[in-house]
């Protein structure tokens, strides 16, 4: 096990509600990443972090925010969920490229 | 044009054959290239990376890079049914990895 845990694993919620996904690592990696995966699009980077309180945007950051107050935790927040954010979300840890991925969170927004 | 392009497949090969997976990229300045494998319903796992022109071998896997043609490939020798998965190509652009949409490989017994 790479020491990376995502929670929750599944979530169903309604449009307009806030949603927070958590990624927890026990590997002390500097870099943490959030991706979404949709059919026909592969993996798309939402946000990433290169240290505590250091984050940057990815390809598809609109509608998402992140926070990293501790090395081990990286939170992804959908401030007001929309149906277009229905997806599978993966957290990853590593050096300057993602090396290990979490098991994913399947998020459905109705 | 997508920054990283892969044929979505499915690519079907018989057991024991060589599977060839291809990827092209648009940014000529890209320096680092990665292959991930993803089984259905599972998370991706890093299997190969290559930085220099030429071939890099690791067991049954060989990554090939041709920067002049902006082309990177993954060869799987002696393909096994357990190799059936989606293979994702990724290219570093700045501080970020850009992924292709993946190629589904099916190895038939």
Residue contact A43–B99, C-beta within 8 A: yes
Q: Does B44 touch chain A (CB under 8 A)?
A: yes
Cis? peptide before A8, omega within 30° of 0: yes
Residues of A in contact with B46 (CB under 8 A): 97-100
Q: Does B7 touch chain A (CB under 8 A)?
A: no
Residue contact A90–B8, C-beta within 8 A: no
Say which residues have a Cβ less than 8 Å from residue A79's Cβ, sequence separation at least 6: A18, A63, A65
Residue A9 pLDDT: 96
Per-residue model confidence as pLDDT tens digits over A45-58: 999 999 999 999 99
Q: Has residue A2 got a pLDDT over 70?
A: no
Residues of A in contact with B45 (CB under 8 A): 100-101
Per-residue pLDDT of chain B (109 residues; tens, 9 = 90+): 788 999 888 999 999 999 999 999 998 888 899 999 999 999 999 999 999 999 999 999 999 999 999 999 999 999 999 999 999 999 987 767 889 999 999 999 9
Among chain A residues, CA nearest to B35: A99
Q: What is the rounded distance in angstroms from the CA atom of residue A69 to the CA atom of residue A50?
A: 12
Q: What percent of chain B has pLDDT over 90?
A: 83
Q: Does B107 touch chain A (CB under 8 A)?
A: no
Which of helix, strand or coil describes residue B8?
A: coil
pLDDT-derived band at A32, boundaries 50, 70, 90: very high
Per-residue model confidence as pLDDT tens digits over A63-93: 999 999 999 999 999 999 999 999 999 999 9
Residues of A in contact with B100 (CB under 8 A): 42
Per-residue model confidence as pLDDT tens digits over B38-49: 999 999 999 999
Residue contact B98–A56, C-beta within 8 A: no
């Amino acid at each position: 096990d790479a020491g990376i845990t995502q929670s929750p694993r599944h979530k169903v919620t309604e449009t307009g509600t806030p949603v927070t996904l958590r990624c927890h690592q026990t590997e002390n990696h500097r870099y943490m990443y959030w991706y979404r995966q949709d059919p026909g699009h592969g993996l798309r980077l939402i946000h990433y972090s290169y240290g505590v309180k250091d984050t940057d945007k990815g390809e598809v950051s609109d509608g998402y925010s992140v926070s990293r107050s501790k090395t081990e935790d990286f939170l992804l927040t959908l401030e007001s969920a929309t149906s277009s954010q229905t997806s599978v979300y993966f957290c990853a840890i590593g050096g300057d490229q993602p090396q290990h991925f979490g098991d994913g969170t399947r998020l459905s927004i109705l | 044009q997508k920054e990283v392009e892969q044929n979505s497949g499915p690519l079907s090969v018989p057991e024991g054959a060589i599977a060839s997976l291809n990827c092209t990229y648009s940014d000529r300045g890209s320096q680092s290239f990665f292959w991930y494998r993803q089984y259905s319903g599972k998370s991706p796992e890093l299997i190969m990376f290559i930085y220099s022109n030429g071939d890099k071998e690791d067991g049954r896997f060989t990554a090939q890079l041709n920067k002049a043609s902006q082309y990177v490939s993954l060869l799987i020798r002696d393909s096994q049914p357990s190799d059936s998965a989606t293979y994702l190509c990724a290219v570093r652009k700045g501080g970020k990895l850009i992924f292709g949409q993946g190629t589904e490989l099916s190895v038939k017994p």
